[in-house]
Structure 1
């Protein structure tokens, strides 16, 4: 998804409650400036995971922007805790995870902890806006099982892989059986395809 920078569309986060978890003062300042530029007024700034957990228990948030927090990856652990916390509605809040580096293992870790999206630093306002809009539009269902809770990790639903049984009630099967109703005659099909003159 790409936004046209010259677009006249209006976007305003004035009514949104946003929790920011960023240990670096400079990183926090950049996030705050970007979000204030989008009209955000209610920003809950947390420098540690403990502060963020305390805030989650007290306030309702609409969006969480969380830093991965260095080599220890405390940010990933926070997102996983959030999803399992059962503190509603915050445990279902969209999470945008940001990291200094995003190799494939970091992206997989972000996906597996329950984040909606992971972004690499440095952040730009247009990139942050694109991700927020993408999260708002995607509407992925939440999945809960023994090893995972969070948005469905599949970006595309292309059905069950060949040779595997479906695990969800609404999974479509790849096998095509015999026709249940009689097939249409070729003459009927041809008549449907012909252009006709219609008088109004």
Structure 2
């Protein structure tokens, strides 16, 4: 579940998060996601060395750091922070600070290297608001014991890091059985929170741009995946409608923002409706599919 579902807004508003990345667009995107999610104070740095200076001056509560950066990368930054638990460092006020690695590396070797350095959690690129905010939930609500030994300094590594997307329910390969009502409702709650986080992000950035449209596409992929897991046909069809629209238009950056907003509103209507009122949800889906046919008619004829 996302922080906004389980963490009080005042808890998030008190947090100070340091974002470290050498790409200004990524820094802005992560910062916007965090602020839109309710984080009260976000500070930034372009590399590990500058991050250490920012830490000395601002005393952050959590760090999001890219894995690969010039001057000092995320791994070396993490090692320098954890070393301060043994050898005090004036630039590291809290050697136990939660560190979340933002990375495109998925191999077991890369993960193990990062864990040995003392990383708490991972966010895999390309990320979504849920991917970032859920890691705050983990490090704040489920902190790991901090270990200081001759061979390792950092958070307890015994809990396996989940790198791939993991929906809350069953895998698609599991037997086709009817998902129980509690499971479906929990999934709908998660989807609702994620869509609200996406809305807030778009609003915080002053409207949809290339980055947020691409992120919306990934959020819809996750939404469809979750809905199919719990046999939620209406939500699956609504998310599939937007994904089909994006594909027919030739990519997220070629989509009309108004069509994206119509899909967000439709999914919100379905989530707010009684599951027993299938007719109302069917009508919403029919409207969506009509909008997509209208907006993609020219491209269909050209194809």
* 1:104 has 2:108 as partner: yes
- Provide closer, same or farther for how the CA distance between residues 72 and 48 of structure 1 changes in structure 2, counting only shifts above 3 A: closer
* 1:36 has 2:35 as partner: yes
Contact 1:18 1:64 in 2 (8 A): yes
How far did 1:146 drift? 2.2
Q: Count residues in correspondence.
A: 154
Aligned partner of 2:146 in structure 1 is: 142
How far did 1:112 drift? 0.6
Contact 1:102 1:119 in 2 (8 A): no
Higher share in strand: 1
* C-alpha distance after superposition, 1:7-47 (max 9, x if no partner): 69754522111111111111111101101112223211100
How far did 1:133 drift? 0.6
TM-score (norm 2): 0.46
Contact 2:20 2:46 in 1 (8 A): yes
The CA distance in 2 between the partners of 1:4 and 1:67, in whole Å, is 22
* Farther off after superposition, 88-97 or 18-27: 88-97
The CA distance in 1 between the partners of 2:80 and 2:148, in whole Å, is 14
The CA distance in 1 between the partners of 2:51 and 2:3, in whole Å, is 34
Misfit runs of 4+, over 6 Å: none
* Farther off after superposition, 96-105 or 62-71: 62-71
Structure 2: give runs of 5+ residues left out of the alignment.
161-303
Alignment of structure 1 residues 93-132 onto 2, 5 Å: 93-132=97-136
Contact 2:100 2:120 in 1 (8 A): yes
Q: From the CA coordinates, give the structure whose radius of gyration is larger.
A: 1
Contact 1:11 1:38 in 2 (8 A): no
* C-alpha distance after superposition, 1:68-109 (max 9, x if no partner): 015998111100101112356421111111112221111111
- Provide closer, same or farther for how the CA distance between residues 100 and 126 of structure 1 changes in structure 2, counting only shifts above 3 A: same
- Provide closer, same or farther for how the CA distance between residues 4 and 58 of structure 1 changes in structure 2, counting only shifts above 3 A: closer
The CA distance in 2 between the partners of 1:58 and 1:9, in whole Å, is 27
Contact 1:110 1:117 in 2 (8 A): no
Contact 2:3 2:137 in 1 (8 A): no
